[in-house]
Amino acid sequence: MTRTNEHSKRFAIFSSGRGSNFEAIMKAYQEKRLTHTPVVLFSDRTDAEVIGKAKSFGLPVECLEKDPTESRQTFDKRIWSVLEMYRPDYLVLAGYFKILSSWLIQKFQEPKHEVSRILNIHPSLLPAFPGLHSYQKAFNYGAKVTGVTVHLVEEGVDQGPICAQEAFSIQECKSHEEVENAGLKVEHELYPKTIEWVLSGAYILTVNEVRGQRRHCVRPS
Ligand code: GRF
C-alpha cells in the first residue's frame, strides 16, 4: 500500500464515522492524484463504518475511545502514543468529531512559522455555520448558496487559515439531505486536491490587513 518518494509526506487520517472523505482520499492516492502517503487511519469510535473501509484498502487502523473522565489532552497523548510509530508529518481530519487539544495542535505546528500541519474539511463556507450539522443549518436558514471549506487547524472550533473554498447553489434543494448529497460530491473532489498542494508546500500564508489581520493560505499561481 505504501508508496513513498523523497518529497512525499506521510499523513494520518482521523475519522469518527462514515468515511466517505476517507474513501475519496484513498482513491486519489491509488490513482496517483495524491502523491503523499496515508500511513494510518485513526478513529475514536470502535463501531465506525470507516474502519471497515480502511481495512479494505489495507491501511493500518488504530482506534481508541475517549474515557468520559479523561481530559482532551490526556486522550490526545494516548492517541499520539499509538500514532507516533507511523511518523506522520501531517494530520488530515475527515469527519473527526472530537475537538483537538492545544497539546496536539502545538505538536503539529512548524516551530519557525507557526504554521499548522493539521488539515480539516468543514461543510460550510466558514465562518458561516461552524460546528455540527452545517448543511442542515444552511438549509434551515434559507441560504441560497452554501459550500465547503478546507482549512489549517488552529485552536478554537473550525478556526484556522482557509486553504480552499467552493460554493454551490442550494436554491433548488428540497431537503437538507439534498444539500448534503450535493456537498459531499464537492468535498470528495476538493479535499484530495487541496491535501496535494498543501502537503507539497505549494502555498504561502499571507496576512491581508483589509481582512482584519486574518492569515489565509494562498496557492501561488
Ligand atoms: C463531512 O461532511 C465533513 O465535511 C464533515 O463531516 C462529514 C464527514 O463525512 N467534517 P464522511 O465521514 O467523510 O462521510
31-73 per-position pLDDT tens digit: 999 999 999 999 999 999 999 999 999 999 999 999 999 999 9
- In this prediction, residue 46 carries a pLDDT of 97
pTM for this prediction? 0.93
List the residue whose alpha carbon is closest to atom 6 of ligand 1: 95
Answer yes or no: is the C-beta of 147 below 6 A from any ligand 1 atom: no
User: Is 176 marked active-site?
Assistant: no
- Ligand 1 atom nearest the C-alpha of 123 is 4
How far is 4 from 147, CA to CA, in rounded Å?
Answer: 33
Q: What is the mean pLDDT of residues 161-171?
A: 96
According to DSSP, the residues that pair with 90 across neighbouring strands are 11
6, with CB counted inside 10 A (0-12, 13-18, 19+), is exposed
Probe residue for ligand 1, chosen from 181, 187, 189 as the CB with the greatest number of ligand atoms within 8 Å: 187
Residue 18 Cβ contacting ligand 1 at under 6 Å: yes
- Predicted confidence (pLDDT) per residue in 84-143, tens digit: 999 999 999 999 999 999 999 999 987 666 789 999 999 999 999 999 999 999 999 999
Q: Which three cell numbers stand for residue 108?
A: 503539529
Question: Which is nearest to 126 in space by CA: 137, 117, 118?
Answer: 137
Torsion of CA 102, 24, 11, 31, to 10 degrees: -160
